[in-house]
Amino acid sequence: MSNFEFNHDIDMAWCPGCGNFPLRNILIKALTELQLDPTQVVFSSGIGQAAKMPQYVDASYFNGLHGRGLAVASAISAVNPKLTVIAEGGDGDMYGEGGNHLIHNIRRNPHLVHIVHNNMVYGLTKGQASPTSPIGLVTPLQLDGVYNQPINPMALALAMGATFVARGFSGDQEKTKELIKAAILHNGYAIIDIFHPCVTYNKVNTFAWYKSHTFWLDEAHPKTNKEAAMKLALDEERLACGILYQVEGKAYPQRHPFYQGNLTPFYQRKRDPKDIAKLFNKPKAHS
Amino acid sequence: MRESISIVLSGEAGQGLQTVEEFLVETLTQETYVFSSKEVMSRVRGGNNSVEIRVSNQPIQALRYTIDVLFLFNDHALERLLPRLTPQTIIYGEAPFLKSVPSQYKTKEVAFLDLGKQAGNRLYENTAMFGYIAGMIGASVENAKAIITKRFNKRGEDIVTGNLKAFDLGYDLGRQDPDRPKELKPTHFSPKKALTGNDVLSMGAVAGGVNYVAAYPMSPGTTLMTLLEEKSRDFEILVEQAEDEIAALNMVLGAWYAGARALTTTSGGGFALMTEAVSLSGITETPAVIHVAQRPGPATGLPTRTEQADLNLVLYAGHGEFPRMIFAPGRLEDGVEVMSRAFYMADKYQIPVFVLSDQYWLESMSQVDALDFNPKYLESFVVETKRDYQRYAFDKSGISPRGVPGFGLGYVKVDSDEHDEAGGITESFTMRVSMQDKRLHKFDLMKKDIMEPLISGSTKHENLVLSWGSTYGVIEEALDTHPEWDLTHLHFIQVYPLPESLKDIISKAKTIQVIENNATGQFANLIQMTYGVKVNQRILKYNGEPYHIDELITKMEATHE
Ligand SMILES: Cc1ncc(C[n+]2csc(CCOP(=O)(O)OP(=O)(O)O)c2C)c(N)n1
């Protein structure tokens, strides 16, 4: 079994010093430590610098359209519930273009992990504001600073009823890796918003900024308490990292009447031509 | 001689038009040729809807504009139909409903409500009307009663007996009606099954192996999804209502990628939202089956009406260049064939395949003797992957074998960026050209799988009439009744790509006429472009209605003067 690493050099399209590098290390470590079989792991991503992650991890992937990674991932996990499915991308990809899928997949509660690299800016398209950019952030497109309210993905996920809501920071590798592992082991939809600096385009939310604005939750945090989680999510001064909220819930395969406890992957479900004949009874007179 | 009568029921949504239609068609399909179609307003209750049931001694799949017999369900059911009346039309209804009928028309008062009450409940009035019509046209009492019994059995014996009584009361009156039309019974007839286009598409999807459906409701595309949900328990189909059409097609692609046979269904507006994902299907070589149920646009257009104006949309949807296939069913049985074939072709060529229908075709009822389900269409092209599997390998066959994640030792890496054989992003110009050539080469491979058009009429092939999709039945009837026009009819069930084999017939023809249910002649343009010919005449209709036989004959006659 391989360990999600390539046996040859790979050319990664990220800027030197980008937060995506440590995130890649964390991700590969998390998958390896869980001893997952790479043939049973699938990534689904959209477009952006963050969304290139699957290119650099040796496993299956569907690198689709900007914003649509979650929609595709949700179908993959429905069709083969035995796979470990990870939808991964940036804040623009997942909260902007893909915002509708975010809302509705929380309702659907598919069995997958949703990793959002939150650098509060659009990297690949060269620095425009993202849905999480703070008010006042000056960009090549928001010359007088961002004037729209940023979205609060943690509060949104909680309000929508997500059963696993977590925040990490690429600067805190060990702890963030543990979040990823916990998310993979969670039954149902698990979102992890991971702060990481964009060294090229975001000169405000830097490594030092994240360091000084975040803190990690400890054992004392009652993670099954939604009110406590919401309070933390709404605090935009001191940004809590860790599992804000986690409860057991019925995931899509337990909710959708199709499965009835049968998680057989679709490629193994064959339709018998004999059954098809049942579709049409030759007409005959009633009399 | 071909003869027919057209019976029209007119009333509000929710008044039971559909029940009477179903009773009549189900009865008549056992003993004669029948076709029915409804036209409804875009509202849930009220308004004015109508159903036309055409009975004939010959096979029939078309409507007539003029009405022979009209049944009114209320006092405001006539106004929209006035232009369709002739001095011979007889209008039936309760006395108050007939008050508004202009004096030049024949009317006949029948107290259906009283008949219902007499049978035990005013609710039986529709069954009394069914009985009346059945009596008028001499339908078999046994057949009719068997259908009534079947329909109401679950609701208890009293309700069955009451309805049967109402039927008898109506039937006897109808039988004695001195103005009843001549009975149209074919000399030889074997019982048939009456089905809608939606019915056969849902059967075709099952026969094509569908096991995953993601779609967002939009008329007239929704019924297919509903019918597949109804079949989902028996055939193991996962049906999911997507949050929007963008999600729907992306989910369908994710589902195929992971090993399902997936379908989405929508109408033009919803499909417009899917176009980026159509292109994704193209570059990732992920199969997709997309049902586009046409209704008149632009934008919301006429939501409950019909048109064939989304051919260009489906033909050109998606940025970039990549192969696709488009089917458009004409006869009822074509619905089964093209829908199941769509899954097979999508899987075989790893392309998006479209079934382009329209409101009229989907919601009309016509007849079949039997339906063939080709077991070949269930064949899967998915391979088990080896350790060194490459999703986009340059294979001798011209098509890279398609694995699915989790099945085998390899990784299945699929990319919307231009990619190398392994599926990794590349910016190599040479790789780009090789990959694009590989994808476009499928156009050549597909040639051996193109469906030929249906050809009928004159064997001289001098004067051609070309058509596609839902106009089949009406054009066939026009030609059948006018052999003197000496026309050859080519009806296309696959509208893209078009077969090269026709180049000869089409380029040698003296005249080419194209009949379409749209305003610009989109198929005519495609014919000109494909075969390098000039279409001499376009017969077009785009008011939101399908063609009516009498109207089409007038239009065609004008071209023969
Ligand atoms: C439909 C569509 N719209 C726009 C784009 C252009 N685009 C590519 S990535 C991106 C945003 C990238 O930002 P983010 O998702 O935050 O990822 P990052 O590059 O910062 O990691 C945009 C707008 C696209 N590829 N497709």
Q: For the domain that residue B117 is a member of, what is the CATH number?
A: 3.40.920.10
Tokens of A83: 């796979």
A63, A79, A286 member nearest B414 (Cβ): A63
CA B520 from chain center: how many Å?
21
List B289's β-bridge partners, or say none. B263, B353
What CATH number has the domain bearing residue A75? 3.40.50.970
Determine, for residues A267 and B417 on separate chains, whether the beta-carbon distance falls below 8 Å. no
pLDDT in tens, A132-166: 999 999 999 999 999 999 999 999 999 999 999 99
Element (H, E) at A215: strand A214-216
Rounded to 5°, the CA angle B330-B333-B335 comes to 65
Give the Cα separation of B215 and B265 in Å (integer).
Answer: 6
Give residue A287's pLDDT: 42
Nearest CA to ligand 1 atom 3: A66
User: What is the 3-state secondary structure of A87-124?
Assistant: EEEEHHHHHHHCHHHHHHHHHHCCCCEEEEEECCECCC
In chain A, residues with a C-beta closer than 8 Å to the C-beta of B240 are: 78, 108, 256
Average pLDDT over residues A72-99: 98
Determine, for residues A39 and B146 on separate chains, whether the beta-carbon distance falls below 8 Å. no
B255, B382, B409 member nearest A75 (Cβ): B255
- Long-range contacts of the stretch B235-239 (C-beta < 8 A, 24+): B235/A271, B235/A275, B235/B206, B235/B211, B236/A258, B236/A269, B236/A271, B236/B211, B237/A258, B237/B206, B237/B210, B237/B211, B237/B212, B237/B213, B238/A78, B238/A79, B238/A256, B238/A258, B238/B211, B238/B212, B238/B213, B239/A258, B239/B213
Domain co-membership, B177 together with B213: no
CB of A80 within 8 Å of any CB in chain B? yes
Nearest CA to ligand 1 atom 23: A125
pLDDT in tens, B243-287: 999 999 999 999 999 999 999 999 999 999 999 999 999 999 999
Q: For a pLDDT cut of 90, what percent of chain B falls above it?
A: 97
- CA nearest to B28 within chain A: A285
Q: Is the pLDDT of residue A189 over 50?
A: yes
Average pLDDT over residues B340-347: 98
CB B235 within 8 A of CB B261: no
Q: Tell me, what DSSP letter sits at residue B363?
A: H
Q: Is the pLDDT of residue B510 over 90?
A: yes
Give the Cα separation of B202 and B224 in Å (integer).
Answer: 6
CB of B409 within 8 Å of any CB in chain A? yes
Determine, for residues A82 and B423 on separate chains, whether the beta-carbon distance falls below 8 Å. no
Query: If you measure from the C-alpha of residue A63 to the centroid of ligand 1, how many angstroms do you get, rounded to a whole number?
Result: 13
Domain co-membership, B174 together with B260: no
Tokens of B134: 């059945």
Q: For a pLDDT cut of 70, what percent of chain B falls above it?
A: 100
What CATH number has the domain bearing residue B302? 3.40.50.970
Q: Is the pLDDT of residue A20 over 50?
A: yes
Tokens of A157: 């996920």
In chain A, residues with a C-beta closer than 8 Å to the C-beta of B376 are: none
- Within chain B, how many helices (H) and strands (E) appear? 18, 23
Average pLDDT over residues B376-400: 97
Give residue B179's pLDDT: 94
The torsion of the CA quartet A25, A27, A30, A32, rounded to 10 degrees, works out to -80
Q: Is the pLDDT of residue A286 over 90?
A: no
Handedness of CA A255, A256, A259, A263 (dihedral sign): negative
The reply to whether ligand 1 has any atom less than 6 angstroms from the CB of A47 is yes
Give the Cα separation of B419 and B430 in Å (integer).
Answer: 11
What is the ipTM metric for this complex?
0.97
CB B270 within 8 A of CB B221: yes
What CATH number has the domain bearing residue B537? 3.40.50.920
The last residue of one of the domains, among B346, B378, B410, is B378
B143, B257, B415 member nearest A286 (Cβ): B143
Q: Is the pLDDT of residue A2 over 70?
A: no
Q: Is the pLDDT of residue A284 over 70?
A: no
DSSP reduced 3-state for B289: strand
CB B136 within 8 A of CB B174: yes
Rounded to 5°, the CA angle A37-A40-A43 comes to 115
Nearest CA to ligand 1 atom 22: A125
Which among A15, A20, A45, A47 is the best mutation to test ligand 1's pocket, defined by most ligand atoms within 8 Å of the CB?
A: A47
Q: Is the pLDDT of residue A282 over 80?
A: no
CB B273 within 8 A of CB B245: yes
Indicate whether this model's pTM tops 0.80: yes
Give the Cα separation of A167 and A194 in Å (integer).
Answer: 6
Q: How many domains does chain A have?
A: 1
B140, B371, B414 member nearest A61 (Cβ): B414
Give residue A285's pLDDT: 52
Q: Is the pLDDT of residue A85 over 60?
A: yes
Q: Tell me, what DSSP letter sits at residue B541?
A: -
Q: How many domains does chain B have?
A: 4
The reply to whether ligand 1 has any atom less than 6 angstroms from the CB of A93 is yes
CB of B142 within 8 Å of any CB in chain A? yes
Q: How far is CA B339 from CA A34, A67, B256, B288, B382, in A?
A: 44, 30, 16, 12, 20
Domain co-membership, B337 together with B297: yes
- CA nearest to B408 within chain A: A39
The reply to whether ligand 1 has any atom less than 6 angstroms from the CB of A188 is no
Domain co-membership, B136 together with B280: no
Using CB atoms and an 8 Å cut-off, which of residues 182-221 of chain B contact chain A?
A: 191-193, 203, 206-207, 209, 211-212, 214
The reply to whether ligand 1 has any atom less than 6 angstroms from the CB of A66 is yes
Ligand 1 atom showing the smallest separation from residue A66 Cα: 26
Chains A, B: CB contacts within 8 A come to 202
Domain co-membership, B44 together with B95: yes
Domain co-membership, B241 together with B169: no
CB B148 within 8 A of CB B164: yes
> Which residues, other chains included, contact B455 with Cβ-Cβ below 8 Å and sequence gap of 6+?
B488, B489, B490, B491
The reply to whether ligand 1 has any atom less than 6 angstroms from the CB of A125 is yes
Domain co-membership, B461 together with B537: yes
Domain co-membership, B333 together with B473: no
Determine, for residues A100 and B232 on separate chains, whether the beta-carbon distance falls below 8 Å. no
**Please, what is the average pLDDT of chain B?**
97
The reply to whether ligand 1 has any atom less than 6 angstroms from the CB of A217 is no
What is the CB neighbour count within 10 angstroms for residue B178?
Answer: 5
Q: Is residue A234 part of a domain?
A: yes
Average pLDDT over residues B82-108: 96
Q: Is residue A44 part of a domain?
A: yes
Which residues form the domain of B230?
A: 195-378
Using CB atoms and an 8 Å cut-off, which of residues 356-395 of chain B contact chain A?
A: 369-371, 373, 375, 378, 380, 382
**Closest CA–CA distance from residue B249 to any residue of chain A (Å):** 9
Which residues form the domain of A141?
A: 20-260
Q: Is residue A96 part of a domain?
A: yes
pLDDT in tens, B16-73: 999 999 999 999 999 999 999 999 988 888 789 999 999 999 999 999 999 999 999 9
Domain co-membership, B331 together with B203: yes
Q: Tell me, what DSSP letter sits at residue A12?
A: -
DSSP reduced 3-state for B319: coil
Tokens of B128: 């009394």
> Which residues, other chains included, contact B504 with Cβ-Cβ below 8 Å and sequence gap of 6+?
none
- pLDDT category at A283 given cuts 50, 70, 90 is confident
Domain co-membership, B52 together with B174: yes
The last residue of one of the domains, among B423, B447, B471, is B447
**Closest CA–CA distance from residue B336 to any residue of chain A (Å):** 11
Give residue A277's pLDDT: 86
Domain co-membership, B21 together with B77: yes
Residue that is written with structure tokens 């935009």 in the block? A236
Q: Is residue A268 part of a domain?
A: no
| Residues across chain A | 287
Give residue B45's pLDDT: 81
Ligand 1 atom showing the smallest separation from residue A124 Cα: 19
Average pLDDT over residues B475-499: 97
Query: If you measure from the C-alpha of residue A91 to the centroid of ligand 1, how many angstroms do you get, rounded to a whole number?
Result: 9
Determine, for residues A78 and B415 on separate chains, whether the beta-carbon distance falls below 8 Å. no
Q: Is the pLDDT of residue B532 over 90?
A: yes
pLDDT in tens, A226-268: 999 999 999 999 999 999 999 999 999 999 999 999 999 999 9
The reply to whether ligand 1 has any atom less than 6 angstroms from the CB of A130 is yes
Determine, for residues A258 and B232 on separate chains, whether the beta-carbon distance falls below 8 Å. yes
Determine, for residues A286 and B246 on separate chains, whether the beta-carbon distance falls below 8 Å. no
- CA nearest to B372 within chain A: A277
Domain co-membership, B208 together with B350: yes
